[in-house]
Structure 1
Amino acid sequence: MNIDLHSYPPFSGKEIVGPKLLPQQGYSNENYIFYVENKPYLLRKFKLEDRNRELEYRVQLLAYEKGIAAQPLILDLSKNLMVCEFLEGEHKTSLKKEDLARLATVLKKVHCLQTDAEVMQLETMFGTISDGLKEAFSAIETFPDEPVLCHNDPNPKNLIFSASGLKLIDWEFAGMNDRYFDLAAVSVEFDLDLLDEAYFLASYFRTEGWEKEKLEAYKTVYKALCEQWFENNT
């Protein structure tokens, strides 16, 4: 990789080892690890050109300040890269009750972050809308809008469980959306059964009630978006 990391103030004049391509890669970025004074850092080279990387950086910084994300250090749009601290931890494909409670707490913190981004219009993101999607959007319209800052991609690869707590990574899809979108995504991605889903929702809403029909509609939307995304990007 032809990038001079010494040119960035945090690493100027320091010994750098790497960067080295990580064995596990995502779909949206090329991920590298490098070390400065024995501390690991993550370098992400952007693959997708349709993301608002400035918003991603701002949101990740807000999340870092709440203790739920890695600290972002550098955003260089001229070289299509971002550098942040490297998080050590575990990705889980199934969640125990204590994990569900921790995830509910983290998402609640995400949903309390403030940004001036426009609310996403999910219907406009589809090339074609099936009858099932039409029914889902019709169902959603019967409920009040609840726009909050959402991660929008809380899949197992984007959750890191560590001794310092649960943290979210890869914020490139973050934006203003209905909070039920994140909740539905968790239920879909972790294939929650009815009992675990109810426990997760109770952990999130606490004394509030929740709308099962709204959640199911957002599950349909989330699944369709994922299917379309993978068709277009893999």
Structure 2
Amino acid sequence: MCAGTKCINKKRANPLPLCDAPLRELIKHAFPYLTIRTLCPLNKGLSNKNYYLEQAQQGYLLKHYSSALPTLALEAQSQLAKFGVAQPVVGFDTKTRLALFEFVIESDEVISLNDQLLAQLHTLHGFELPQIDQLDLSGALLEAGRVLDCAPQLALLDQQLAQFEADICFCHNDLVKDNILATPQGPVFIDFEYAQYNDRYFDLAALGVSFSLSVGEAEHMLKRYYRQANQPCPDYALDKLSCYVRAYLWLCIAWYQQRHLQEYVGPLQAQLVVWQS
């Protein structure tokens, strides 16, 4: 999903056709105070439909969720936005499954796994919202094993994960480059649909996969992450991260397989080979 002007300008000349009048009716029901000047579909996002909406020179990102609105995750995102970590939430409506976000202006800077990004991650991991449950990672791996017909392999991986000391905190759970915006104020996280409590290594694994880090580069990321918290990097950190990277990769592969998006599977399988060696 992209929420910056760089991917909008070409769309502004292509307003929604009249056949999308039902969407306008949903918007009218959810946000009656809006007077729509521009409404353009964005070809970003695999799960939900995204639109650029403009009212009186004010731009918004409109998201139409394909399933139930993740209200608690949206509330968490709204609170995190106050700390400059997340894209601000303007409002949402459960009946229409619509959510409206402030339109974040992106800088030309390329997203990098620098200390500023890791500092934002620490802020995210320090956030608390007790109403949100913990991700059932064991259940997710069980389901992935069923989808990919490799249940014994993923059951073994789940046992390996259980051997490490849990480090539970609030996690994004889909922390990939596409969900991080470079802004003049620093990196901002978007798309909190899967945000729940989880082991912090899951987010670190997602970053490692998205930035295609080597094992050595991932170890360096861990050391920088712990250094920012003024904590020693545990001796088991790289082994634990390796397990979480493999878990994250298996879950991603299963997710794409279920949706018949084979073009995304190959690169993930290539990374899995590296981390299983």
Q: What TM-score does the superposition give when structure 1 sets the normalisation length?
A: 0.87
Residues 91, 156 of structure 1: 8 Å contact kept: no
- In the comparison of the two structures, how many residue pairs are matched? 226
Residues 148, 177 of structure 1: 8 Å contact kept: yes
Cα displacement (A) at 1:68: 1.1
1:89 aligns with 2:117: no
Structure 1 residues 92 and 141: CA distance shift in structure 2, 3 A = farther
Residues 151, 174 of structure 1: 8 Å contact kept: yes
Structure exhibiting the larger radius of gyration computed from Cα positions: 2
Give SS of 2:96's match: coil
2:82 is aligned to 65
1:21 aligns with 2:25: no
1:40 is aligned to 59
Cα displacement (A) at 1:221: 0.5
Residues 92, 156 of structure 1: 8 Å contact kept: no
Residue segments in structure 2 that go unaligned for 5+ positions in a row: 1-19, 261-277
Residues 172, 195 of structure 2: 8 Å contact kept: yes
Residues 62, 113 of structure 1: 8 Å contact kept: no
Letter in structure 2 aligned against 1:16: I
Structure 1 residues 217 and 195: CA distance shift in structure 2, 3 A = closer
Higher relative contact order (CA 8 A, sep 6+): 1
1:120 aligns with 2:135: yes
1:109 is aligned to 123
1:157-204 Cα offsets, whole Å, 9 max, x none, are: 111011121001111011010000000111111111244323322221
1:133 aligns with 2:187: no
Partners of 1:91 and 1:156 in 2: how far apart?
15
Letter in structure 1 aligned against 2:120: V
2:255 is aligned to 229
Letter in structure 1 aligned against 2:135: M
Give SS of 2:37's match: strand
Q: What TM-score does the superposition give when structure 2 sets the normalisation length?
A: 0.74
Give SS of 1:110's match: helix
Partners of 1:138 and 1:38 in 2: how far apart?
54
Partners of 1:196 and 1:93 in 2: how far apart?
18
* Aligned with 1:204 (options 221, 225, 229): 225
1:115-156 Cα offsets, whole Å, 9 max, x none, are: 122211211123225444233322222221111110000111
After superposition, where does 1:2-13 map in structure 2 within 5 Å? 2=22, 3-4=24-25, 5=27, 12=33
Residues 30, 93 of structure 2: 8 Å contact kept: no
* Aligned with 2:193 (options 166, 172, 175): 172
* Greater strand fraction, Structure 1 or Structure 2: 1
Runs of 4+ residues over 4 Å off in structure 1: 4-9, 90-94
1:185 aligns with 2:206: yes
Residue segments in structure 1 that go unaligned for 5+ positions in a row: none
Structure 1 residues 137 and 29: CA distance shift in structure 2, 3 A = same
Same amino acid, percent of matched pairs? 25
Structure 1 residues 58 and 68: CA distance shift in structure 2, 3 A = same
Partners of 1:52 and 1:185 in 2: how far apart?
23
Q: Which moved more, 1:206-215 or 1:169-178?
A: 206-215
Partners of 1:7 and 1:79 in 2: how far apart?
8
Give SS of 1:209's match: coil
Cα displacement (A) at 1:52: 5.6
Residues 64, 70 of structure 1: 8 Å contact kept: yes
